[in-house]
């Protein structure tokens, strides 16, 4: 039975049903009884495998088709009336053509299936930040994941009332045919259509599709920002708190940084980290002239491989109940899950992510095809499970930002950390970000590509206009956060990581926040911005071996803080090539000025 009298919702559901012709329509009210019944049904059909309920209560495993394991950027379209408005780095399709194409594919595709109607909110229902979406889908997996990742249920329809507007999301699995897979966004119509996929990033429409692509477009028009950023809080020994938002490309450690455990002596001194979000931030200007951020999600869709007690204890703990695992290995000895990096010992009896028995004897770290879990296998875990979830997680106002951090995977050139000279220079740094690609999207991994503000795959409009929006936002904030860039991934000449990363990143966060104080700690001005004086990064009690026989020390720190003008001169040329050759005319003058300054500084 329909759970609302909102005519726009009813019309959308009716039109979707007329197109897809499901046998049945089920409205998701968010009740435990309904969700439990769906889990049961999915276990019976084999869509979910029930895990050991003593060790992993309310946890399940799901396997996708082997052709459907990551976001598909080349099949993800922004469908604006004018091609120009989608910009040069989004795939574009004419909206009429896109609707027609998807209608053709989806017509009758739910025959013999049930269509679920999921009312959900991105953000705390009733807060100024919150926006409501309705996703229709023929996948129980999607319903159950959306129920973890967003706030689902009747309260969202109540918040909409009779007249309220919402983001329309239509998802049909169809035949999971990779050649007919399309993830379409119609920012001018508040609509998303996804067909022929069942992988999270393509089908949990509240996440990348709504909370980033559509929301970035809304943010530009309404004067706020939707960013691919984690949000964390730092508590100082005197119990004061500061908040940081940080943008990194997919699978570059956002979840790890968001849930960081400080080194022992920091903890003993009283430092603590709390997690507000691990992937997405919606940011608005507060009445006090600062930027305030919320995490619009309600769970974590984290990358499993590499997650373990040491690398990310808090993430691992978050997966201990109420979690859906996707494409990890099944340990058949105790019906728990396993993935590469979870433990040093390999399990003896596993079914791999494709559903075949796995032979640990054949496992070769360097050969991904021998892995038991897919490199982009995931956990969908409720945020409330996280031991360090922030008390502000459900705050309606969000948290005030002291700092914004950009970062990527860069083997050379980019120092461990540096600070921009001002807001516009920070925007320039974000716009010029590049990083090596990871398994989060299909395509080659380890290739250096530009990923401005980590938003390359997620900006729902022209990237040049997006840069201009950042510059405009800077004019609206009296008290803007300071902007920094970090690089945890510098390597030595043999490819060994020079910085320990993980919990030790706290040492860099400390410096960053000292730079945000009213009386900031001194820094060294360089061609690219301010870098720390090596003495100002605490490396006490740091025991890290870069490679056999080479320990991390002051000299190594100094090395990863160096700014090589020759390399940066080349970088500036490369950025200029990207600006001119890829982004083009809509880049604001303020960023061209920063590029000129960089070029000049490198010559000095």
Nearest alpha-carbon partner for 316 in 338, 298, 334: 338
What residues from 26 to 45 belong to the interface with ligand OXD (CB under 6 A)?
none
Least Å distance between CB 406 and ligand OXD?
Answer: 15
Q: Which is nearer to ligand OXD, 87 or 201 (CB)?
A: 201
CA distances from 375 to 17, 96, 229, 501 (A): 36, 37, 22, 20
CA dist., res. 136 & res. 363, Å (int): 41
| The one among 199, 301, 325, 552 contacting ligand OXD by CB under 6 A | 301
**In the set 73, 138, 227, 279, which binds Mn ion (CB under 5 A)?**
279
| Minimum distance from residue 101 beta carbon to ligand OXD (Å) | 25
Rounded to an integer, what distance in angstroms lies between the CA atom of residue 286 and that of residue 399? 10
Among 197, 250, 336, 435, which residue sits at the site for ligand OXD (rule: CB under 6 A)?
A: 250
- Site residues for ligand OXD, 256-285, by CB under 6 A, read 279
Task: Establish if 9 lies at the interface with ligand OXD (CB under 6 A).
Answer: no
3-state secondary structure 487-503: CCCCECCCCCECCCCHH
Q: Among Mn ion, ligand OXD, none, what does residue 294 contact (CB within 5–8 Å per kind)?
A: none
Given a contact cutoff of 8 angstroms between Cβ atoms, the answer to whether 232 and 246 are in contact is yes
Partner from ligand OXD, Mn ion, none binding residue 137, C-beta < 5-8 Å depending on class:
none
542-571: contacts with ligand OXD (CB under 6 A): none
Q: Which is nearer to ligand OXD, 229 or 401 (CB)?
A: 229
Q: Are 404 and 484 in contact (CB under 8 A)?
A: yes
Distance CA 259, CA 274 (A): 7
User: Catalytic residues, which ones?
Assistant: 252
DSSP state of 47: S
**Shortest distance, CB of residue 464 to ligand OXD, whole angstroms?**
22
Minimum CB separation of residue 221 from Mn ion in Å reads 23
Judged by beta carbon, residue 448 or residue 539, the one nearer ligand OXD is: 448
Kindly tell me which of 71 and 462 has the beta carbon lying closer to ligand OXD.
71
Pairing mode of beta strands 229-235, 131-137: unpaired
How do 350-351 and 91-92 pair as beta strands? unpaired
Question: What, of Mn ion, ligand OXD, none, does residue 191 touch, CB below 5 to 8 Å by kind?
Answer: none
**Interface with Mn ion, residue 250, by CB under 5 A:** yes
Distance CA 133, CA 22 (A): 21
**Nearest-approach distance from CB 324 to ligand OXD, in angstroms:** 14
Task: Quote the CA–CA distance of 523 and 479 in Å, as a whole number.
Answer: 21
| Binding partner at 129 among Mn ion, ligand OXD, none, C-beta below 5 to 8 Å by kind | none
Q: Which does 299 bind (CB under 5 to 8 A by kind): Mn ion, ligand OXD, none?
A: none
Give yes or no for residue 274 binding Mn ion (CB under 5 A): no
Partners of 525 in the beta sheet? 530
Q: How far is the CB of 19 from ligand OXD (least distance, A)?
A: 28
Residue 207 or 425: the one with the smaller Cβ distance to ligand OXD is 207
- Please identify, using beta-carbon distances, which residue of 250 and 413 lies nearer to Mn ion: 250
Shortest Cβ 207–Mn ion spacing (Å): 8
440 binds ligand OXD (CB under 6 A): yes
* 307 lines the binding site for ligand OXD (CB under 6 A): no
In the complex with ligand OXD, the residue whose CB is nearer, 89 or 594, is: 89
Give the nearest distance from C-beta 234 to ligand OXD in angstroms. 23
Q: Torsions phi, psi of 235, nearest 5?
A: -100, 130
Interface region with Mn ion, contact rule CB under 5 A, candidates 136-144, 246-254, 505-513, 582-590: 246-254
- For 218, other C-beta atoms within 10 Å of its C-beta total 18
- Distance (Å, whole) CA 145 – CA 378: 11
What is the spatial order of strands in the sheet that 299-303 belongs to? 49-50, 60-62, 324-326, 378-382, 299-303
- Region of 145 on the Ramachandran plot (φ > 0 left; ψ -120 to 50 alpha; else beta): alpha
Q: Please identify which residue in 71, 168, 181, 450 interacts with ligand OXD, judged by CB under 6 A.
A: 71
- Taking CB positions, which residue lies at the least distance from Mn ion? 279
3-state SS class at 406? strand
Angle 506-557-272 from CA coordinates, rounded to 5°: 10
Pattern 181-220, ligand OXD, x by CB under 6 A:
--------------------x-------------------
Residue number with CB closer to Mn ion (119 or 457): 457
| Whole-number Å distance between alpha carbons of 80 and 380 | 32
What is the nearest approach in angstroms of ligand OXD to the Cβ of residue 201? Answer: 5
CA-CA distance, 17 to 19, in Å (whole number)? 5
* Minimum CB distance to Mn ion, residue 458 (Å): 8
Q: Determine the Cα–Cα distance for residues 416 and 512; give it in Å rounded to an integer.
A: 12
CB of 299 to Mn ion, least distance (A): 13
The span from the CA of 352 to the CA of 63, in Å, is 10
For ligand OXD, give the closer residue by CB, 262 or 296. Answer: 296
Q: Residue 604 burial by CB count (10 A; 0-12/13-18/19+): exposed, middle or buried?
A: exposed
Query: Which residues are CB-neighbours of 119 under 8 A, at least 6 positions away?
Result: 3, 4, 9, 27, 28, 132, 133, 134, 152, 153, 154, 156, 157, 160
Neighbouring residues of 492: CB distance < 8 A, sequence distance ≥ 6: 498, 546, 547, 550
C-alpha radius of gyration, the chain, whole number: 24
Residue 246 or residue 563: which is nearer to Mn ion going by CB?
Answer: 246
Give the total residue count for the chain: 604
Separation of alpha carbons 118 and 174, rounded Å: 18
State the binding partner of 71 from Mn ion, ligand OXD, none, CB within 5 to 8 A by kind: ligand OXD
Residue number, nearest CB to ligand OXD: 250
Q: Interacting stretch for Mn ion, rule CB under 5 A, among 25-33, 232-240, 244-252, 334-342? A: 244-252
Q: Which of residues 103-122 bind Mn ion (CB under 5 A)?
A: none
How many positions of this chain bind Mn ion (CB under 5 A)?
2
Binding site for ligand OXD (CB under 6 A): 71, 201, 250, 279, 301, 440
Binding site for Mn ion (CB under 5 A): 250, 279
């Amino acid at each position: 039975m329909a759970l609302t009298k909102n005519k726009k919702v009813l019309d959308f559901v009716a039109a979707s049903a007329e197109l897809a012709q499901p046998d049945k329509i089920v409205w998701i009210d968010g009740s435990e009884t309904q969700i439990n019944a769906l889990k049961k049904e999915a276990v019976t059909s084999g869509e979910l495998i029930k895990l050991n309920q003593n060790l992993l209560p309310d946890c399940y495993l799901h396997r996708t088709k082997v052709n459907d394991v990551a976001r598909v950027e080349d099949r993800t379209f922004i469908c604006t009336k004018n091609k120009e408005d989608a910009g040069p780095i989004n795939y574009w399709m004419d909206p009429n053509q896109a609707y027609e194409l998807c209608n053709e594919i989806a017509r009758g595709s739910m025959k013999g299936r049930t269509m679920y109607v999921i009312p959900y909110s991105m953000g705390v229902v009733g807060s100024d930040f919150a926006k409501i979406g309705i996703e229709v889908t023929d996948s129980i997996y999607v319903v159950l994941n959306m129920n973890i990742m967003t706030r689902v249920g009747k309260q969202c329809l109540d918040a909409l009332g009779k007249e309220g507007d919402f983001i329309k999301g239509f998802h049909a699995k169809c035949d999971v045919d990779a050649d007919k897979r399309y993830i379409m966004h119609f920012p001018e119509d508040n609509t998303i259509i996804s067909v022929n996929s069942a992988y999270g990033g393509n089908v949990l429409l509240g996440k990348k599709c709504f909370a980033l692509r559509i929301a970035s477009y809304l943010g530009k028009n309404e004067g706020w920002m939707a960013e691919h950023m984690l949000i964390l809080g730092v508590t100082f020994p005197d119990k004061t708190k500061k908040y940081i938002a940080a943008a990194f490309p997919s699978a570059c450690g956002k979840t790890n940084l968001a849930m960081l455990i400080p080194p022992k002596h920091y903890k003993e001194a009283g430092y603590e980290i709390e997690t507000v979000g691990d992937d997405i931030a919606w940011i608005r200007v507060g009445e006090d002239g600062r930027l305030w951020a919320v995490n619009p999600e309600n769970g974590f869709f984290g990358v499993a491989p590499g997650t373990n007690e040491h690398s990310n204890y808090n993430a691992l703990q978050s997966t201990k109940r109420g979690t859906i695992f996707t494409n990890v290995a099944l340990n058949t000895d105790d019906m728990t899950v396993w993935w590469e990096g979870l433990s040093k010992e390999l399990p003896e009896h596993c079914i791999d992510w494709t559903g075949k028995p796995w032979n640990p004897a054949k496992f070769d770290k360097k050969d991904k095809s021998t892995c038991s879990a897919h490199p982009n296998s995931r956990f969908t875990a409720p945020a409330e499970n996280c031991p360090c979830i922030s008390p502000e997680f459900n705050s309606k106002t969000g948290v005030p930002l002291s700092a914004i951090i950009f970062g990527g995977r860069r083997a050379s050139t980019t120092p461990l950390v540096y600070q921009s000279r001002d807001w516009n220079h920070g925007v320039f740094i974000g716009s010029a970000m590049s990083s090596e690609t990871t398994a989060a999207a299909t395509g080659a991994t380890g290739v250096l590509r530009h990923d401005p503000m980590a938003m390359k795959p997620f900006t729902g409009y022209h990237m040049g206009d997006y840069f201009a929006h950042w510059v405009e936002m800077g004019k609206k904030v009296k008290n803007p956060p300071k902007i920094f860039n970090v690089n945890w991934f510098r390597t030595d000449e043999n490819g060994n990581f020079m910085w320990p990363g993980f919990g030790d990143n706290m040492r860099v966060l400390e410096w960053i926040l000292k730079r945000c104080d009213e009386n900031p700690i001194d820094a060294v001005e360089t061609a690219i911005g301010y870098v720390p004086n090596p003495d100002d990064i605490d490396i006490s009690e740091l025991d890290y071996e870069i490679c056999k026989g080479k320990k991390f020390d002051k000299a190594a720190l100094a090395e990863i803080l160096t700014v090589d003008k020759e390399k940066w001169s080349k970088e500036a040329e490369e950025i200029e090539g990207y600006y001119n050759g890829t982004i083009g005319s809509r880049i604001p003058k303020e960023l061209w000025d920063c590029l000129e300054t960089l070029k000049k500084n490198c010559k000095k």
